[in-house]
Amino acid sequence: MTAVTPVKLHFEDSGDWHSLPQWAEYFIAVGRQLAHADRSESRIVTAMVTPTRAFGAAFVSLGMVISDFAARERVSHATHFRTLLDLPPGTTVIYRQSPERTFKGILQGSEEVHGTLYVRVQISSTAGGRRAYLIPESLALQVQPTHHSGTLPNNPSGKNKRFANTFVDQLLGASNLAQLGPCSQPCCTIVGRRNVLEYEIRRTPLLVHANGQHSTGYLQDVLRVDRFAVDHHYHRAALVPVGSGGPPDDLVENTQLGVVFDGAAGFLKWGQLWGGRHQIVVLDRTEPYFDDAISAINSRFSQNRVDGEVPLPTCDAPPGAEVLAFREAVT
């Protein structure tokens, strides 16, 4: 078992902000640990029985995305600069000039000045004089391809809350947010009731403290769940509603790390899919099909369990919760 640093998030109650309770930190830690766990020959199945499932799957998914972000190879300025040069003129981007100033922009190709190559980013409309910045390689990571309308303001101020997300900056670190750029392959897939997960992920505000500052935001700002995204943001997580026809084949194939089942119904329907991806099942004893889900998990434990390390948080499971984790042979 490995220790992980707690995520310093806070929730609002009656107008006051409070640190996340231990159970929430535990769920986040489970996701972070599983994101690092080897899955070359076997996967980890983690069943968590809790007094209530509320926010459990959302926080496990947050842990996986945070851990995946931290583990990714840092994109160099040179590599990202070459990526920008290869993009066609007209590609929509954002230019993060500073933490407080972020501009919508459009790539206008490259330009060489006194022997130095630059990427040209237009930030104002034709009526606004087609104002543009020349971005050298050393500042390339401040330009990120993204989807927006392509309509630029006449007089851009850079005070764009939609694109300048200090909540994400403080939670993940603003030094290399190009990692969250043009990649729509989901880190994890969440299976559960859409309306419940949308409330938890997209509509419940949270606060993060970092470096003496605080910012508010939503889990969606980090998770970027595909079905909750607006304006075609790049996705870091996918949702399969439990009442849907099931996950498409490409989602099963392209999920990178793991699947989080919020409740018994989705697990019983599709728990045999996503071979080679870790699985987390969050259950509560009062839900329908609880006994069926426990029976299915016990059957897989007795038939498919193999030896191997199963990383779990060093802290105790939440009061009233039971956790079973084992390695399962990948067939």
Q: Which domain covers residue 127, as residue numbers?
A: 77-163
The pLDDT of 105-114, averaged and rounded, is: 96
In a shared domain, residues 81 and 152 = yes
> Of 116, 137, 163, which residue constitutes the final position of a domain?
163
Choose one of 163, 193, 227: the last residue of a domain: 163
Task: Confirm whether 4 is domain-assigned.
Answer: no
What pLDDT band is residue 251 in, cutting at 50, 70 and 90?
very high
In this structure, is residue 255 part of a structural domain?
Answer: yes
Specify whether 159 is located in the same domain as 172. no
Residue 3 lies in a domain: no
Q: What is the CATH number of the domain that holds 115?
A: 2.30.30
Average pLDDT of the residues in 241-246: 93
Q: What is the mean pLDDT of the chain?
A: 89
Query: How many structural domains compose the chain?
Result: 2
Residue 117 lies in a domain: yes
Residue 21 has pLDDT above 50, yes or no: yes
Tell how strand 258-262 and strand 188-192 pair up.
Answer: parallel
Same domain, 206 and 305: yes
Backbone phi and psi for residue 249, each to the nearest 5 degrees, phi listed first: -60, -40
Strand order in the sheet with 213-217: 16-19, 9-13, 206-210, 213-217
Radius of gyration of the chain (CA): 22
Residue with tokens 């929430």, as numbered in its chain: 24
Q: What is the pLDDT of residues 39-59, one digit of tens each?
A: 888 999 999 999 999 999 999
Whether residue 118 sits in one domain with residue 206: no
Mean pLDDT of 86-105: 89
- Same domain flag for 271 and 188: yes
As a whole-number percent, the residues of the chain with pLDDT over 90 amount to 66
Residue 109 lies in a domain: yes
Q: How far is CA 297 from CA 112, 225, 240, 255, in A?
A: 62, 27, 20, 22
Domain termination site, one of 108, 140, 163? 163
Angle at 80 between CA 145 and CA 208, to 5 degrees: 65
Output the pTM of the full model. 0.81
